[in-house]
Structure 1
Amino acid sequence: MGHTPYGYRIEKGKAVVDETKAKQIKLLFEAYLSGDSLATAAKKAGIKAFHAGIGNILKNKRYVGDNFYPAIIAKANFEAEELERMNRAEKLGRIWEKKEVNGSPTPTFFSIAEGNKQFDDPFRQAEYAYSLIEMEVDANEA
């Protein structure tokens, strides 16, 4: 098994709640849901971690409990935090969705004159090859 999440410890092969750290996690969730930033919520909870580490704690579904980890956070609080995190990200413009490509596609057909010159310099050879292009044909029109 990999890293044991903050708030748990392993005893006799089973995950048990570390009560001191579990209180900090509960405070972190409460502070974040009350409107505090990640850094402020972590400071109030007494958790010293980087911004990404705090975000990972808030995203960790194990705190709701599963077959191995006992619950520290109520499912309703976890879901409320996820919704709050997504709302904040949307307000800050941090939700990136793929945009449909509009417009014409890149031309894929070319009319090229025949060339017979050879250059030792690859850049000059490339310039020469590009100079042979007579016209571009739109792929949709071909």
Structure 2
Amino acid sequence: MGHTPFGYKIENGIAVIDQPAADKLRQLYKNYLSGMSLSKAASAAGIKTYHGTAKRLMETAHYLGDSFYPAIIDKDTYQKAQEERKRRATALGRNNKQTQMRKLQIPTRFHMGEVAALYDNPVKQAEYLYSLIESESK
């Protein structure tokens, strides 16, 4: 069995609205649609969470109501929040962003200071020699 979404509680096997939590959810949507960031909207609504969790709360379709959960958010508000989230993500360049693997550039030439010490311990010698590297060039 999964977890009960924030805003609901189970009583006698039936999902019912947890009114104080539902009020916070409604305020989260209102705050977000008024222009606040997800984390600030959640915080101002009294929901202590992170950006990603606030996003998942806003994307929870159960809040529209279904065969088990009663509705907490009306369809219009839910839809506006989804459109606003997508709009902001696009404006910030987060949608359809393709990442490219960077080619690993291993320096093959470098400038090193004068070696003035020798150590019997090879690890200490290596640490010392690495500390003498002054600059790298490709």
For normalisation by structure 2, the TM-score amounts to 0.69
Determine the structure 1 residue equivalent to 2:2: 2
Distance 2:31 2:97 in 1: 29
Letter of the 1:38 counterpart:
L
Contact 2:43 2:49 in 1 (8 A): no
Letter of the 2:75 counterpart:
K
Letter of the 1:27 counterpart:
Q
Deviation at 1:19, TM superposition (A): 0.3
Identity of aligned residues (%): 46
Where do residues 20-31 of structure 1 align in structure 2 (5 Å cutoff)? 20-31=20-31
Where do residues 29-108 of structure 1 align in structure 2 (5 Å cutoff)? 29-96=29-96
Residues 56-88 of structure 1: CA deviation (Å, up to 9, x unaligned): 000001001000000000000000000000000
Letter of the 2:33 counterpart:
L
SS in 1 for 2:29: helix
Structure 1: which 5+ residue stretches go unaligned? 99-142
Distance 1:35 1:58 in 2: 14
- Tell which structure's C-alpha radius of gyration is larger: 1
CA RMSD of aligned residues (A): 1.4
Residues 81-116 of structure 1: CA deviation (Å, up to 9, x unaligned): 000000000000010167xxxxxxxxxxxxxxxxxx
Determine the structure 2 residue equivalent to 1:14: 14
Letter of the 2:85 counterpart:
R
SS in 2 for 1:81: helix
User: Which segments of structure 1 move beyond 4 Å, counting only runs of 4 or more?
Assistant: none
Contact 2:10 2:16 in 1 (8 A): yes
Determine the structure 2 residue equivalent to 1:135: none
Distance 1:83 1:50 in 2: 20
Count of residue correspondences = 99
Distance 2:70 2:30 in 1: 19
SS in 2 for 1:9: strand
SS in 1 for 2:16: strand
Distance 1:78 1:7 in 2: 15
